[in-house]
Amino acid sequence: MSATPPKDRGAKRTAKADRAGRLPTWVSVFAGLIVAVGAAEAYPAAVPQAEAGELHEILRSIIEERKEDLDPVVNRLVYLDCEQAAERVAGLLRHPHPSVRAKAVWVLGFLNAPETAKALVGALTDFNWEVRRDAVYALGRLEHRDASGKIAERLHDASREVRLEAARVLGAFADPSSSPMMRRALEKGAGDIRLEVALLNGLGLMQDDKAISLARKRLAAEDDKLRAAALRMLVRLDDEEAQSKLVALAGSKDPETRREAATLFGAGDEHWAVPRLEQMLLEETSTTVALAAAESLAGHGRESGLRYLAEVSAAGDPRVSATAAEALGRLGVTADDLLELRRKAARKRLASSGLKPDVLAAELAALGLPFTDRLLALSELFLGVPYRSSPLGEGAGVDPGPLYRWDAVDCLTFVEQVLALANTSRSDQVLPLLIDLRYQEGSVAYGQRNHLMEHQWLPGNAAKGWFRDITEEIGEEAVVTARKEITAESWANRRGADLPLEANEIPLGVSELPIIPIDKLGGLVERIPDGAILVVVRHDIPSRPFRVTHLGIVVRKEGRPHLRHAARATYKSVIDEDLNTFVLRNKGYRSWPVAGFNIILPEENTRRAAELLE
């Protein structure tokens, strides 16, 4: 991820050179490298020298016969890191055929041995222009900056391709000692647009003030790329005339002109460029301009630009997401960096959006956050929501409560709604998923609701793939089994469960849950992952048809595990309670003691969601 912007001019010059001076890549070689490294495991490591000798001979024959399938052999030699490879390949530079010498130079660009630079410098004066061009490229790829003087001589080469490659490499090196020769080449290079652009870019990276007059002459050039390169160079040099021109471009009615301005602001001094970019990002109506402004901001080390790119890289428009992803790649953002940026974007959205949970759930899914991150973020929305016993119902009949609501929850409906929200990608998907969690067969009827946790909710939803039981993974040998049996007689004499069910709707039978005894959990709380659901299991009382009485979501705050739950007693709302405090409080219950805890881990249920939303 981009660091904070450098404060001194020299550090700034180096940082900009690093960003803008990356050389072109040989795509086929890197594709081959992936294959070769994967295949390398099949080679016996004990015989690299013997294998290297064979590979040298194969390579020699391929080069001399002028075939195209060099990549696998070169990749394998690079993998083996055999020093003699460079010496043998360098010997091919004396071959009479220029295509053989060109391929040998190309191969040397991947073999960074002591003799490589000497051989490549010698190739700079080869009578064939392709050999000279590839030698310049190879020296640049291997970052042999000691060869800058020899490369600079190629700025006056008879071949325009060699001159262009020399300008690009010297620009990437950003070696100030090369700037006098680059200025002379720019003075003589009028008419060769590509060369002039490359020289202007390089001189800008070198912060060569002596080239300002040369750049100003090109501000009126007919070619768009040449004018842009001149302006970019002057902006890098903090030229006031260029700054004024750039500000005017940023106010253009043409989106393409504004996009170019946003890109050029990335080369400017942060003190005047960054405020302009932030304004563009906030006010810009064109997505392409906003993307350019965000990338320039990120290039200056501003996280606001990175966060914007992270957000839209997961956007629905494939062109926008691809452009943002490409920009993040150029900025060197890793997958871990991207995930953290999306988490920050999610936290910012939670803090300021004011959106309803179902709308926000869809936006968080679009950010590309992992499932657990979404679950935790969405559960945070409910903090402070009042506790209300059994706030949801079927909308009519025995329990006419609403099918869903965000303004009141109990411990179970809080968890159910969070699970449904975390699995949705559109706001209209939440209700079907919630119904599946709350009812046995997706049928909205009081008799089909999962009333009893041990007998219905836990086993039924585990079978549907909403979560898996991890109690034994956490507790290991400490785990015991909590058994509960419901018979027709115990149901008829039940206490504490006013459930008017028909005879065929009563969940008769035996249920078994693995639990960690309450006295054993204290030393294991750190092993419980974020997003896991802690289920409170009481001692068995035959007249009560259930043992599970509470549940909540484990979260970490300031490094300590907490239970996010809808608490009826004392708090009367959704709170984050220190988990050790919660366990200690549960140890104090005497009339119906807590036996222990079952632990389940929610998982993204894409299969079930797809079935329900077909």
Pair (430, 474) in one structural domain: no
Pair (540, 572) in one structural domain: yes
- Choose one of 416, 437, 466: the last residue of a domain: 466
Domain that holds residue 125: 27-142
- State the pLDDT at residue 317: 78
Pair (422, 486) in one structural domain: no
Q: Which residue shows structure tokens 């090369």?
A: 178
- State the pLDDT at residue 222: 84
Contacts of 171 (CB under 8 A, 6+ apart): 20, 21, 198, 199, 201, 202, 203, 205, 206
Burial of residue 127, with CB atoms counted within 10 A of its CB: 0-12 exposed, 13-18 middle, 19 or more buried: exposed
CA distance 284 to 298: 17
491: in domain: yes
Pair (510, 590) in one structural domain: yes
- State the pLDDT at residue 30: 29
The domain total for the chain is 3
Helices in 531-596 by DSSP H: which ranges?
A: 579-587
Pair (483, 575) in one structural domain: yes
109: in domain: yes
- Choose one of 109, 142, 175: the last residue of a domain: 142
Got the DSSP string for 101-126?
A: HHHHHHHHTT---HHHHHHHHHHTT-
297: in domain: no
Q: Which segments in the chain show pLDDT lower than 50? A: 1-47
Residue 411 belongs to domain with CATH number: 1.10.3670.10
CA distance 173 to 14: 10
199: in domain: no
Evaluate whether 482 touches 475 at the Cβ level (below 8 Å): no
Evaluate whether 110 touches 29 at the Cβ level (below 8 Å): yes
CA distance 143 to 22: 11
Pair (366, 442) in one structural domain: yes
Pair (364, 459) in one structural domain: yes
pLDDT in tens, 291-308: 999 999 999 989 889 888
Pair (496, 592) in one structural domain: yes
- Choose one of 89, 119, 142: the last residue of a domain: 142
Residues in the chain: 614
- For residue 172, give the amino acid letter: A
CA distance 158 to 504: 94
Tokens representing 103? Answer: 């391929």
- State the pLDDT at residue 519: 94
177: in domain: no
Evaluate whether 186 touches 211 at the Cβ level (below 8 Å): yes
Pair (409, 365) in one structural domain: yes
Contacts of 125 (CB under 8 A, 6+ apart): 132
262: in domain: no
CA distance 188 to 178: 16
- State the pLDDT at residue 348: 73
The one-character DSSP state at 399 is: B
Got the DSSP string for 150-215?
A: HHHHGGG-SSHHHHHHHHHHHHHHT-GGGHHHHHHHHHH-TT-HHHHHHHHHHHHHTT-GGGHHHH
Question: Of the candidates 563, 573, 599, which has an alpha carbon nearest to the alpha carbon of residue 391?
Answer: 573
CA distance 382 to 361: 13
Evaluate whether 33 touches 75 at the Cβ level (below 8 Å): yes
Tokens representing 112? Answer: 């960074």
Query: 3-state DSSP helix/strand/coil percent for the chain, to nearest 5?
Result: 60, 10, 30
132: in domain: yes
- State the pLDDT at residue 316: 66
Evaluate whether 584 touches 398 at the Cβ level (below 8 Å): no
285: in domain: no
Q: Which residue shows structure tokens 């009367």?
A: 572
Pair (562, 487) in one structural domain: yes
- State the pLDDT at residue 48: 53
Pair (523, 589) in one structural domain: yes
Tokens representing 280? Answer: 């563009």
Burial of residue 323, with CB atoms counted within 10 A of its CB: 0-12 exposed, 13-18 middle, 19 or more buried: buried
Got the DSSP string for 30-92?
A: HHHHHHHHHHHTTS-TT-HHHHHHHHHHHHHHHHHTT-S--HHHHHHHHHHT-THHHHHHHHG
Pair (435, 479) in one structural domain: no
Residue 555 belongs to domain with CATH number: 2.30.260.10
- State the pLDDT at residue 352: 65
Strand 548-557 with 533-538, pairing: antiparallel
CA distance 170 to 481: 72
